Structure 1
Amino acid sequence: MNHKEINSFYTYLQSQQTSQRFLYQCYKKIDGIDAEAKSYENCTVFMYYLDHGIKFYNAGKKLDILMQPILFFYGMVHLLKACLLTKRPNYPESTSVLAHGVSARKRKKKDYTFLEDEVKVQHNGLFPYVSQHLFFIHKMPFEKIMMKNLLGLIPDLSHLFHFNNQESMINVSKIGSHTIDFTSRVLDNYHLTERAFLERIKPYLPPIVEVKSNHTMFQIVLTKPILEPSGPFFVDDNQNIFFPTIRENFLVVSEVMVHYLLLYNLSMLSRYEAEWWGDLLITKPDVDYPFIAEFLRISAKKMPLLIGKELLKMK
């Protein structure tokens, strides 16, 4: 991921003229749209979505963790709305898409832990709208999902799971590589034969040339290098490609969607569960704290880049 190029592109779009030109190029690809008129109509709000989103993130990085979930969540929301405007010139088409699109438990149990908490995806709202129009996922692979499963889909957090004597993901390749290496243990975790496992992951990879295997591992050789991993493959900040070791975490979702759900729940906790949130930050009673603190640090750095990458694709 070219951090410098993406950050420069955000800066480039911070004028009405450059935003209008960019939107015009996007809208020319959409049938039935007056690209020139619509790009002039949307350029100002598009520019402000980007500006406010980046400012929310920058402000959050300077503040105590107490306020970070709220600022990072709304920073992300603004950047996603800017992305939507490149593909949906009439966004928002109705008030039904303005809600968050996710819900959390109303009251927390006495022995509540964040890792065991869950969120529920709604039929309407920003989350399903983004999933459909930005990432082409028309039906979510889950209705409810636990926080520990979402955290387990973030490759940059795999070391924390390792410290906690757990394994959430394994490093299987690197961006630009022609090969993917799996240990045979993955087949045991997925309860699949090698042939069945290959059939499951084949849709998310370039064509396979051959498979080299022995008793402990197998290597998949591809016709082309992996440049844009998708589905169950995730990329860390160092361009390493990771794969979930847990069968229930084999989810065809974007990491952006994972961060949205986590930030939504954390922002709700920080706003409405003052006693639990205060205890977490002051007394740090359990393993929730290191996972939350590390996630917020990673998300603040990674999400503007991942969303900026989606914008740069349109260029």
Structure 2
Amino acid sequence: MIRKSIKCICTENPEQWIWTEYMLLQNEETARRYLIDAYSRRPFNQPDRLAYRNVPAFTSYINQATSLIKESQTNHPWVRPILLYYGMMSMLKAWLLTRIPDYPQNTAVLRHGLSTRKRKRERFRFCEDEIKIQREGLFPLVAEEWNLPPMTGESYTAKELFSFIPDLHPTYHRLFQQKSLARVFFTRSGAGLLLHVPEQVLDHFHLSAERLVDKLNQARHGLFSLSTSRGYDGYLTLHCACDEEGLSTVVVDNPLPPHPGFPSLSTTESLCVSFHHPWFYENKKGDLYLWLGNDRPVAPLPEILVHLMLLFSLSMLCRYDPPLWGEIMLDNQQAEQIIIHELLELVPRKFAQLMLTAFAEEKLILRAH
């Protein structure tokens, strides 16, 4: 997914702004105009006719998704994962309809596309549970539209999936005594940008600076090069190529405070950087983190798919093993309960924002007054 533009929104209530934006996709007249534009960009033949045909299904998916996700915020944790997961599914079905006008092409694409162990082990820990990717269904279809390679048979533990979410990283670090993400910063360099990465990541990857650049460029060829500019103590400085395939910026009046230790360093939110690379993740404010990998070599996943996999697993627990779900959510003996609660609080805001970015095909930075 390449984002070619940036929209910075100042609002008193970011979450309310998000749901107000979705109203434009719930209304048939405005949704039809959106679909015409989406089909024209692909391009498809007769975008007007396709939009007229698909707008009832599209608005129905959006209405169901927004209702379920917002309803989850008012319900007890006993049912929250079920409401969130099916709301997320409906949102992704609407998005697929903008890229595949004939969706659903067959009944196979209506499956979950994910599976998890039905009979849980004794002394079950959710973070050790594995979610496996199937050959057919919603998940592999969305992954294909995200231009990801086939992942049939690949599995991820819930702990691995939590490692991708920057908003949960402080809790992840405290619970597992591991760092999965490293905060990065920027400075301007003429028309381009310099990316400053903590030098400790070289020890983590067991790589030299040159090999780290090669590793990152394998995913986005030519985006990075080692900078010859004077850097900052404790940071590795990389030059970022500015082009519409990789990175773009806009200047924002009254930017947020920079890095407290180095006043000349900036956060991505203060510069409004639209940055696209699979090894980098953003929190809901737009700050950027480099993913440090896991205990085994798994590929990074888009955060939208991470949310979907985690909520799939949690919703299966809710539906098919209520006693076990009750132990996890109501028994304070398990520390992983904390990160699950945080996830359930985060998803309605973060997933909705990520999907709005996918629908608009532009980066959204929401800044509270």
What is the TM-score when the length of structure 2 is the normalising length?
0.78
Q: Equivalences for 1:44-63 in 2 at 5 Å?
A: 44-63=56-75
| Preserved CA contact (<8 Å) 1:230 1:254 | no
Determine the C-alpha separation between the residues in 2 that align with 1:140 and 1:81.
20
Which range moves more in the overlay, 139-148 or 41-50? 139-148
Residues 1:242 and 2:257 aligned together? no
Residues 1:71 and 2:83 aligned together? yes
| Preserved CA contact (<8 Å) 1:230 1:252 | no
Q: Report the alpha carbon displacement of residue 252 of structure 1 after superposing the two structures with TM.
A: 3.8
Q: Where does residue 144 of structure 1 map in the other structure?
A: 155
In the superposition, relative to structure 1, how do residues 242 and 289 fare at CA in structure 2: closer, same or farther (>3 Å)?
same
Q: Deviations over 1:111-169 (max 9, x none)?
A: 11011111110011000000111x11132397011110100100001110232332121
Residues 1:108 and 2:156 aligned together? no
Q: Report the alpha carbon displacement of residue 307 of structure 1 after superposing the two structures with TM.
A: 0.4
| Preserved CA contact (<8 Å) 2:135 2:153 | no
Q: Report the alpha carbon displacement of residue 240 of structure 1 after superposing the two structures with TM.
A: 0.9
Q: Where does residue 178 of structure 1 map in the other structure?
A: 193
Match of 1:11 among 23, 39, 58: 23
Which range moves more in the overlay, 191-200 or 23-32? 23-32
| Preserved CA contact (<8 Å) 2:213 2:226 | no
In the superposition, relative to structure 1, how do residues 287 and 156 fare at CA in structure 2: closer, same or farther (>3 Å)?
same
Segments of 5+ residues of structure 2 without an aligned counterpart are 1-7, 243-248, 250-272, 363-369
Residues 1:310 and 2:358 aligned together? yes
Q: Equivalences for 1:92-131 in 2 at 5 Å?
A: 92-131=104-143
Q: Where does residue 210 of structure 1 map in the other structure?
A: 227
Q: Report the alpha carbon displacement of residue 249 of structure 1 after superposing the two structures with TM.
A: 6.7
Determine the C-alpha separation between the residues in 2 that align with 1:172 and 1:214.
12
Query: Which fold has the larger relative contact order, with Cα–Cα distance below 8 Å and residues 6 or more apart in sequence?
Result: 2
Q: Where does residue 203 of structure 2 map in the other structure?
A: 188
Q: Equivalences for 1:249-268 in 2 at 5 Å?
A: 251-268=299-316
Residues 1:199 and 2:214 aligned together? yes
| Preserved CA contact (<8 Å) 2:185 2:197 | no
Counterpart residue identity of residue 227, structure 2: E
| Preserved CA contact (<8 Å) 2:158 2:310 | yes
Q: Deviations over 1:54-108 (max 9, x none)?
A: 1101100011111110001011111111111111100011111110000000100
Match of 2:324 among 276, 282, 301: 276
Q: How large is the RMSD of aligned CA atoms in angstroms?
A: 2.6
| Preserved CA contact (<8 Å) 1:53 1:76 | yes
In the superposition, relative to structure 1, how do residues 215 and 141 fare at CA in structure 2: closer, same or farther (>3 Å)?
farther
* Structure with higher helix content: 1
Determine the C-alpha separation between the residues in 1 that align with 2:83 and 2:23.
20
Q: Deviations over 1:218-245 (max 9, x none)?
A: 1213243541333010000121101122
Q: Report the alpha carbon displacement of residue 277 of structure 1 after superposing the two structures with TM.
A: 0.6
Q: Where does residue 24 of structure 1 map in the other structure?
A: 36
Q: Where does residue 220 of structure 1 map in the other structure?
A: 238
Q: Report the alpha carbon displacement of residue 309 of structure 1 after superposing the two structures with TM.
A: 1.1
Counterpart residue identity of residue 97, structure 2: L
Segments of 5+ residues of structure 1 without an aligned counterpart are none
Match of 1:167 among 157, 179, 188: 179
SS in 1 for 2:275: coil
Q: Where does residue 296 of structure 1 map in the other structure?
A: 344
